[in-house]
Amino acid sequence: MHSYISSPGNTVRILDEYGIRLRKNLGQNFLIDTNSAKKIAGCGAVGPEDIILEIGSGIGGLTEIMLPLVKKVICIEIDKQLIKAFRDIFSRDLKKKSKLELIQADALKLDYCNITSTYNINKVVSNLPYSIAAPLLIKMITEGNQVKKMVLTVQKDIADRILSPVGGKNYSSYTVKANFLADFNYCFKISRNCFIPRPFVDSSVIELTRRDEKLMENPGFDIVDFFNFIDSCFSHRRKKLINSLVQSNPAYCYKVELIIKLLSGIGKDKNVRAQELTVKDYIYLYKNLIPNI
């Protein structure tokens, strides 16, 4: 019977053999449950035509599961110790290069437009490093215009924010940004006990499908500026949206009547708070307000 890298015993043995101490500042928490790793690959519906990007491949627990199922896996890892172990474990596959490649890089500094087009990557399947999961997810969706589907393991609190309904306690500027960029589905939960070192929270596996390419490439406005506008709306969560905008930029002081009129156009009154507006509401508000500022 095959003994997987992601089994608790093998993971601990490999870490000890290479003298690897996992670093909290890099968000290194290794999955030690092979069934969960297989379920992640299953949620990705990975197949023989897929070229997969895996961020934070570590010692290759998830890589090992996907490798026989797909055309190729491109792995990104920053930690030199983990890279040494990975190269030894997968030396035969890495020599071929047709099946597996490992790139040493900082995932937050990668150009995902470039890497996805260079390798013809069509899916991302990853256990994202905890410390960078939130900003990395947004960056990958924004830049990786060739990738339509991603299956990602993230902290439960990030998944809760992404999947929160309008008006929910976890509904935030991050919710609006993420759902502007993609459609999300919840796959399953992974207990914190399935990782070493044991994190403080459980994890969630989520699936996302990038929104229509034409909308993403030409939404009719600057996405970065739109995201800044959303941040302004949520800058004082307990206050009315109008007050948040006014406090974030004095220019809005002179546009209060226009803001009230625009809110009325989407069925909201002047007392509405940021967490009560949908993604479509924010697009409408931004498109009609910003040209007048």
pLDDT beyond 70 at 215: no
Q: Which domains does the chain have, with CATH numbers?
A: 8-215 (3.40.50.150), 223-292 (1.10.8.100)
What are the tens digits of pLDDT across the range 242-255? 999 999 998 899 99
Percent of the chain residues past pLDDT 90, beyond the cut: 84
The three state secondary structure string of the chain is CCCCCCCHHHHHHHHHHCCCCCCHHHCCCEECCHHHHHHHHHHCCCCCCCEEEEECCCCCHHHHHHHHHCCEEEEEECCHHHHHHHHHHCHHHHHHCCCEEEEECCCCCCCHHHHHHHCCCCEEEEECCHHHHHHHHHHHHHHCCCCCEEEEEEEHHHHHHHHCCCCCCCCCHHHHHHHHHEEEEEEEEECHHHEECCCCCCEEEEEEEECCHHHHHCCCCCHHHHHHHHHHHCCCCCCEHHHHHHHHCHHHHHHHHHHHHHHHHCCCCCCCEHHHCCHHHHHHHHHHHHHHC
Q: What is the pLDDT of residue 97?
A: 81
Q: How confident is the model at residue 221 (pLDDT cuts 50, 70, 90)?
A: confident
What are the tens digits of pLDDT across the range 126-174? 999 988 999 999 999 999 888 989 999 999 999 999 999 999 999 999 9
